[in-house]
Structure 1
């Protein structure tokens, strides 16, 4: 079945749970940034559709959805809050693995077009829109090391040259629902030097 990516559902999840350490649906990982953003992507593909993110009974129902691998795949899957398994899949929780999976996936599961890989953030050739996923390079690691989701712009989409004062993101570790884009750049390579790549999600099969 073809499932469209709904940025509004992804952003709703990101805002609701960005500032919270635990949401009762998915298990938190020790380094949680990509694990959390994968949850937001899952919501964008209808993982939370039909349920409230604030009602306790609905939270339990969503937890059960995760346990049944609803809108997940054998490669890209999270662990629900009550799971005894220590880790989700690497494509779900690791920065590089998420990028590699969604930009090359030809089977079931999330798909995205990647932009600006290994480039200065200001060179990004696309406008930033709600529900976009951004990843930042860490020179000390020699790889991309942080993942966030765009949750607010003064316009939609937002030209990259205007992003510093107008774009906000959700992330985990540390936990934010509306972190200023410039602040993320400052702590992930600096405004003058940060490398940032962009994922724009598309229709997928589940």
Structure 2
């Protein structure tokens, strides 16, 4: 009975956040003003893109309830948000899974926040190993995008998966597109996941950025200046703090009506999300991006 009641309360709370976006209502709540600022940024982003959120849903699943004291309870839960976006004469479905923690005082929410997932991305210097010049690579963008659509919200048991899984997911997408692994067993060299081990470039955002910047054969990429230049199957790296250390990677799966990328990602599982991440709790005004167009042996020079 307790779980059922808390689920109902959380469902109503998250539906209220949806209502803010769909009906452009201003919501003020002292429980988590920062969370509401993120919603406001999403609302403002939609307005700038001339995109309307016409419908949505928020499905709550409670993972665990902990009794802190007689009057206090904590609930760990997930919320699967769906937003139906209309842009010009086109519609697309955006999805996001949030892992959250809510605190209840006598069955009233007094705090609700996204569970942050932080990783220690320190790695030793990456060796800029080159692929063998004879190694061929033809990139199947369709297969890579199909993989990103199939696995954006679940771990593929064929791979090791991590709590902070964003770059591992991108590597899996690239591998599904035909990119060959190389460099095993040196973790600082190449790009690979084999025998319960992996290279830094396979699993760490900043290391993947270094690898894609410097690789000259096999899996490689060209840095471009703007998001509009990317295609489905390309990669975006994010430096949220603007300190030169890249924290996150996403995979382009589609373009919107203004030729801007929509991306899939893991860690905070997202599908068809607008590329800029202004609606992320990690976003700061200092954010920097790096745009990588994957190239292969058939790419025009």
> Quick check: which has more Rg, 1 or 2?
2
- Pairing 1:199–2:301 present: no
**Conservation of the 8 A alpha-carbon contact between 1:37 and 1:148:** yes
Partner residue in 1 for 2:193: 78
**Deviations, residues 9-28 of structure 1 (Å, cap 9, x unaligned):** 111110100111x1122110
TM-score (norm 1): 0.66
Partner residue in 1 for 2:207: 97
Query: Residue 111 and residue 140 in structure 1: after superposition, are their counterparts in 2 closer, same or farther (change >3 A)?
Result: closer
Which among 142, 151, 163 is matched to residue 17 of structure 1?
Answer: 151
1:141 to partner: Cα distance: 6.3
**Deviations, residues 75-125 of structure 1 (Å, cap 9, x unaligned):** 21124xxx5x3x421011111211211221234x31101234xxxxxxx27
Counterparts of 1:134 and 1:125, CA distance in 2: 8
TM-score (norm 2): 0.47
Partner residue in 2 for 1:129: 231
Where relative contact order (Cα < 8 A, 6+ residues apart) is larger, the structure is: 1
Partner residue in 2 for 1:113: 222
Counterparts of 2:274 and 2:202, CA distance in 1: 25
SS of residue matched to 2:229: coil
Task: Spell out structure 1 runs of 4+ moving beyond 3 A.
Answer: none
Give the structure with the higher percent helix.
1
**Conservation of the 8 A alpha-carbon contact between 1:91 and 1:98:** yes
Counterparts of 2:246 and 2:199, CA distance in 1: 18
Counterparts of 1:154 and 1:17, CA distance in 2: 21
Which among 165, 170, 175 is matched to residue 269 of structure 2?
Answer: 175
Say what the alpha-carbon RMSD is for the aligned residues.
2.6
Query: Residue 193 and residue 138 in structure 1: after superposition, are their counterparts in 2 closer, same or farther (change >3 A)?
Result: closer
Partner residue in 2 for 1:44: 177
**Deviations, residues 15-73 of structure 1 (Å, cap 9, x unaligned):** 100111x1122110231100110110111126xxxxxxxxxxxxxxxxxxxxxxxx210
Which among 141, 144, 167 is matched to residue 7 of structure 1?
Answer: 141
Unmatched 5+ residue regions in structure 2?
1-134, 184-189
Moved more, 6-15 or 96-105: 96-105
- Pairing 1:143–2:245 present: yes
Unmatched 5+ residue regions in structure 1?
47-70, 117-123
Counterparts of 1:193 and 1:106, CA distance in 2: 30
Query: Residue 126 and residue 177 in structure 1: after superposition, are their counterparts in 2 closer, same or farther (change >3 A)?
Result: closer
